[in-house]
Amino acid sequence: MNELIVNIKRPNLLTFTMPIVAVLGAMFGFVTGNIFGDPFIGAVGGAVVGAVLALALAKIVSIKRWKKIWGVAVVFAVVAALFGGVGGFLGGFVVGLSMGWFATWVGTGKYRAGVPIYYTPGQVLWHCTFLFICAFVFFFLIAPLIPVVWLSFNAENFFTFTPEMLSFKSAGYSLKHYRDFLGTDEWMVPLKNSLIIAPIATLISVSLGTLAAIGLSQSHVPGRQVMMAILISPMIVPLIISATGMFFFYAPLGNWLQLNLGLNQAFVGYVKVILAHAVLGIPFVIITVTATLVGFDSSLTRAAANMGADPVTTFFRVQMPLILPGVISGGLFAFITSFDEVVVVLFVGSARQQTLPWQMYTGLREQISPTILAAATILVSVSILLLATVELLRRRSERLRGMSPG
Amino acid sequence: MRLLTSISVTALLVASSGTSFAADDMASNMTLVSWGGAYQASQTAAYAEPYKKMHPDVTITWDESSNEAVAKLRAMNEANNVTWDLVDVVAADALRLCDEGLAMEIDPDEMLEAAPDGTSAEDDFGDLLVSDCFIPQIVYSTTFGYRTDMVPEGVSAPDDICDVFDVETYPGKRSLEKRPINNMEWALLCDGVAKDDVYDVLATPEGQQQALDKLATIKDDVIWWSAGADTPQLLADGEVFMGSTYNGRLFSAIVEQDQPIAMLWDAQVFDLDGWIIPAGLPEDRLARVKDFLRFATDTQRLADQAKYISYGPARASSAPLVGKHAELGIDMAPHMPTDPKNSKNTFLYNYEFWADYRDDIDAKFQAWLAQ
């Protein structure tokens, strides 16, 4: 691919590079102009800046591309800092980086690098558009998280970017929402409840779901399509319907447990929520385990039986290790289902089983406090760490087993 | 098998953590239902924490479900599984719950503390005992706040309820509650209906249409809110110029959060908020609730609450005890909706009217919103 670049001739500066970079400049200018109150003038100014930038970068040939880009970024940042302080500096740096990269990318013909030499301009255009769409998809998936994390360090009790925050003064930032989250029962009790309910519900769903999947994968079980449909129904039925049904189903059950077995109210509450969440998690386990069982060679169980192993031993020693990836991913889904669930717990649980999503939900409705953002930031960091750890462990074990070169 | 053991061990741990019985046949746990936010914080500070200090073995669980208390209590009752012990509701909801038999009737003189000077509880609360099941805590008002920095130049700051409907002098968005109550009354007041005639006019279909027509003149400029926290957030963001909400929420935004917001106060609508006890509680829980209730609604406790939030105490004997803000040390009296300067022009929410007409007008209002 690298050899190809050498053969690409530079596109025409006046008819191609300058207009395209000007369009990008106009877009940035429009946004900047909007902040200062006049998007139109901003757009025109941005277009001019873009065109001049494209021209200048094309005329300077002696400097390496990345040096040019950093140079542009620094110049933009310094100019913007004159108007907007620290916030302007950062904004200008990002805009300069993108403009510089884009101008050199278009100007040196690098945009053709990834496509075969015989592509028509239309095909090249589509190829680049496609890359940009992909980049935007990632951007829009990740972008909503950025203000959440940023606002969680707000010094005020509102979801508002204050002028102090935007100019990066330390007065605009504080850790008080993190102190609120970590230091008060209001949030720690729900966290504890979530950590009690989700793992136990997951254990139940995984055990029952795996057994059901193994049973249902046997061809001699009568009516297994129907059974499968019933077991998967919690995933298909609208949650609010299941929740209402569960409320009326578990209430007498709970009363019976309290009156006849003398169990206390809080304990019965946990049992109800855990069972309800287990039901919601079971379909995920069944589906993932059934999928892995398709690849399971059933002659292995016959071989094990042939060697004198009883079905239980066969299951734990032969079948289980082979379908373990399916079981684990099913378990992860079940865990997340329970950990994120708010509707069923609102119906089935009482205030003493308040989970983290419940607290976030009422908090958002009743008091719009940035503590929710602190909680969200912590949860996001924990999930990223967990996923990264799982992925690293997986790669390590693959490497140990010699399954992948990396 | 290992799995089963681990589950049952966890179960036992959970079970044992909740079983410490109080000595005097009172339940050791109470679930209180309230509104969350600054209001619940004031209740925690004024009643719950001091009560816990006196009874260290009691745990108090809060449930922020007052907003849907009526529906939830109905469902709980139907399922015979009432998990709440004391529920904070607005007076209108208390009337409904009482009518449906979901709330317990109370005898104020027997269950509540008398005033320090010996006045009976019934006389101390006076007219505010609007229902047989309802123990009022506070008087709050629904009123408007506006951004002081968004008042147009050369125009005096809004001081009249009708400025809400004047989008020419005061351009900008307004936030109004997404229900007819209060909005319809304000609309009629600003459409030339005299204060005393508002509910008579609103009882007729023509009057209802008149109110909706008046609201229609600002419909394009309205952001509708449904939670008390919405308007302070919208004001803090500068997304609206003015908005209605409970006066305590505005107090917290102005005084505690230091936002450039001021109160309108004109034609503020008074309403009551207080406790109800769900009907049919088991004896030990009822005993605990009664004990707590007697403490939490005495003269000093209600006055203490006003240290944390700018709502007027419901007992006449508490009013002279209202002092300074607990943390900021400012005088609370000028921030109370009942302060003479703030209550020059007030409007009393008509419970009977809304009990009779709520469903009908609600339907019309929602249909109008969807147009």
- Kindly state whether residues B188 and B310 are assigned to the same domain: no
The answer as to whether B253 is a domain residue is yes
Closest by Cα among B176, B158, B159, B270 to B217: B176
For residue A174, which residues of chain B lie inside 8 Å, CB to CB?
none
For residue A368, which residues of chain B lie inside 8 Å, CB to CB?
227, 229-230, 232-233
- Kindly state whether residues A229 and A352 are assigned to the same domain: yes
The answer as to whether A299 is a domain residue is yes
Distances (CA, A) of A163 to A30, A87, A173, B224: 21, 10, 11, 27
pLDDT at residue A347 is higher than 60: yes
- Parent domain of B317: 16-139+272-335
- Kindly state whether residues A201 and A283 are assigned to the same domain: yes
Q: Would you tell me how many other CB atoms lie within 10 Å of the CB of residue B278?
A: 25
Do the Cβ atoms of A264 and B38 come within 8 Å? no
Q: Are B16 and A336 in contact (CB under 8 A)?
A: no
The answer as to whether A163 is a domain residue is no
pLDDT at B143: 93
- Kindly state whether residues A221 and A79 are assigned to the same domain: no
pLDDT tens string B170-190: 999 999 999 899 999 999 999
Model confidence at A362, pLDDT cuts 50, 70, 90, reads confident
For residue A204, which residues of chain B lie inside 8 Å, CB to CB?
7
Number of independent structural domains in chain A: 2
pLDDT tens string B249-295: 899 888 888 889 999 899 999 889 999 999 989 999 999 999 999 99
Which segments of A108-144 does DSSP mark as H helices, in order?
121-142
- Kindly state whether residues B216 and B236 are assigned to the same domain: yes
Backbone φ and ψ of B153, nearest 5°: -70, 145
User: How much is the mean pLDDT over chain A?
Assistant: 86
- Kindly state whether residues A187 and A306 are assigned to the same domain: yes
Alpha-carbon span A350 to A271, nearest angstrom: 12
pLDDT at B12: 45
Domain boundary among A112, A132, A161: A112
Distances (CA, A) of A72 to A96, A100, B360: 6, 6, 65
Q: Which of B81, B237, B257 sits opposite A157 (nearest CB)?
A: B257
Please, is B144 exposed, middle or buried when counting C-beta atoms within 10 Å of its C-beta (0-12, 13-18, 19+)? Answer: buried
Which range has the worst mean pLDDT, A1-5, A307-311, B60-64? Answer: A1-5
The answer as to whether A138 is a domain residue is no
The answer as to whether B5 is a domain residue is no
Q: Are A282 and A216 in contact (CB under 8 A)?
A: no
The answer as to whether B9 is a domain residue is no
Neighbouring residues of B94: CB distance < 8 A, sequence distance ≥ 6: B103, B130, B131, B133, B134, B274, B276
- Kindly state whether residues B121 and B203 are assigned to the same domain: no
Please, is B55 exposed, middle or buried when counting C-beta atoms within 10 Å of its C-beta (0-12, 13-18, 19+)? Answer: middle
- Kindly state whether residues A192 and A103 are assigned to the same domain: no
- Kindly state whether residues B68 and B111 are assigned to the same domain: yes
Does this model's pTM top 0.80? no
CATH code, domain with A279: 1.10.3720.10
The answer as to whether B24 is a domain residue is yes
pLDDT at B24: 58
- Kindly state whether residues B135 and B160 are assigned to the same domain: no
pLDDT at B220: 92
Question: How close, in Å, is residue B308 to chain A by CA atoms?
Answer: 16
Do the Cβ atoms of B237 and A354 come within 8 Å? no
pLDDT tens string A130-189: 988 999 899 899 888 888 898 899 888 888 888 788 777 888 888 989 998 998 888 899
pLDDT tens string A147-158: 889 889 988 888
Residue with the bigger pLDDT between A250 and A84: it is: A250
- Kindly state whether residues B361 and B293 are assigned to the same domain: no
Do the Cβ atoms of A366 and B37 come within 8 Å? yes
Model confidence at A345, pLDDT cuts 50, 70, 90, reads very high
The answer as to whether B10 is a domain residue is no
pLDDT at A8: 60
For B82, the token pair is: 């009432």
Alpha-carbon span A371 to B253, nearest angstrom: 16
Do the Cβ atoms of B229 and A157 come within 8 Å? no
Domain boundary among A53, A77, A112: A112
Backbone φ and ψ of B331, nearest 5°: -70, 130
The answer as to whether B4 is a domain residue is no
- Kindly state whether residues B173 and B94 are assigned to the same domain: no
Closest by Cα among A303, A289, A154, A309 to A231: A289
- Kindly state whether residues B133 and B165 are assigned to the same domain: no
Q: Please give, one letter per residue, the 3-state secondary structure of chain B.
A: CHHHHHHHHHHHHHHHHCCCCCCCCCCCEEEEECCCHHHHHHHHHHHHHHHHHHCCCCEEEEECCHHHHHHHHHHHHHCCCCCCCEEEEEHHHHHHHHHCCCECCCCHHHHCCCCCCCCCHHHHHHHHCCCCCCEEEEEEEEEEEEEHHHCCCCCCCCCCHHHHHCCCCCCCCEEEECCCCCHHHHHHHCCCCCHHHHHHHHCCHHHHHHHHHHHHCCHHHEEEECCCCHHHHHHHHCCCCEEEEEHHHHHHHHHHCCCCEEECCCCEEEEEEEEECECCCCHHHHHHHHHHHHHHCCHHHHHHHCCCCCCEECCHHHHHHCCECCCCCCECHHHCCCCCCCCCCEEECCHHHHHHHHHHHHHHHHHHHHC
The answer as to whether B203 is a domain residue is yes
Q: Are A364 and A307 in contact (CB under 8 A)?
A: no
For residue B14, which residues of chain A lie inside 8 Å, CB to CB?
196, 266-267, 270
Angle at A180 between CA A175 and CA A184, to 5 degrees: 150
Q: Are B227 and A366 in contact (CB under 8 A)?
A: yes
The answer as to whether A323 is a domain residue is yes
Candidates A158, A205, A360: best to mutate against B (most CBs of B within 10 A) is A158
- Kindly state whether residues A207 and A323 are assigned to the same domain: yes
A247 near B CB under 8 A: yes
- Kindly state whether residues B126 and B94 are assigned to the same domain: yes
Return the residue matching tokens 């009743």.
A366
pLDDT at A402: 65
Q: Of chain B residues 38-97, which have a CB less than 8 A from chain A?
A: 38, 61-65, 67, 75, 78-81, 83-84
- Kindly state whether residues B229 and B357 are assigned to the same domain: yes
Closest by Cα among B286, B323, B290 to B308: B323
Q: Which of A255, A263, A267 sits opposite B80 (nearest CB)?
A: A255
For B332, the token pair is: 């609370």
- Parent domain of A242: 181-369
The answer as to whether B123 is a domain residue is yes
Number of independent structural domains in chain B: 2
- Kindly state whether residues A6 and A103 are assigned to the same domain: yes
For residue A343, which residues of chain B lie inside 8 Å, CB to CB?
none
Domain boundary among A81, A112, A143: A112
DSSP strand pairing (B86-90 vs B268-276): antiparallel
The DSSP call for residue A13 is I
- Kindly state whether residues B75 and B45 are assigned to the same domain: yes
The DSSP call for residue A154 is B
Backbone φ and ψ of B348, nearest 5°: -95, 125
Alpha-carbon span A216 to A230, nearest angstrom: 12
Candidates A164, A200, A343, A367: best to mutate against B (most CBs of B within 10 A) is A367
Do the Cβ atoms of B257 and A363 come within 8 Å? no
Q: Of chain B residues 205-234, which have a CB less than 8 A from chain A?
A: 227-230, 232-233
pLDDT tens string B294-330: 999 999 999 999 888 889 898 888 888 888 888 888 8
Weakly modelled stretches of chain B, pLDDT under 50: 1-7, 9-23
Fill in the amino acid letter for A307. Answer: M
The answer as to whether A198 is a domain residue is yes
Alpha-carbon span B165 to B153, nearest angstrom: 19
Question: How close, in Å, is residue B61 to chain A by CA atoms?
Answer: 6
- Winning range, highest mean pLDDT, from A6-10, A47-51, B188-192: B188-192
- Kindly state whether residues A276 and A359 are assigned to the same domain: yes
Question: How close, in Å, is residue A2 to chain B by CA atoms?
Answer: 51
- Kindly state whether residues B200 and B229 are assigned to the same domain: yes
Distances (CA, A) of B4 to A199, A265, B9, B12: 14, 22, 9, 12
ipTM: 0.73
Q: Which of B7, B15, B64 sits opposite A362 (nearest CB)?
A: B64
Alpha-carbon span A34 to B185, nearest angstrom: 39
pLDDT at residue A404 is higher than 70: no
Report, in angstroms and rounded to the nearest whole number, the Rg of chain B calculated over CA atoms.
22
The answer as to whether A152 is a domain residue is no
Question: How close, in Å, is residue B151 to chain A by CA atoms?
Answer: 19
Alpha-carbon span A190 to B62, nearest angstrom: 11
CATH code, domain with B70: 3.40.190.10
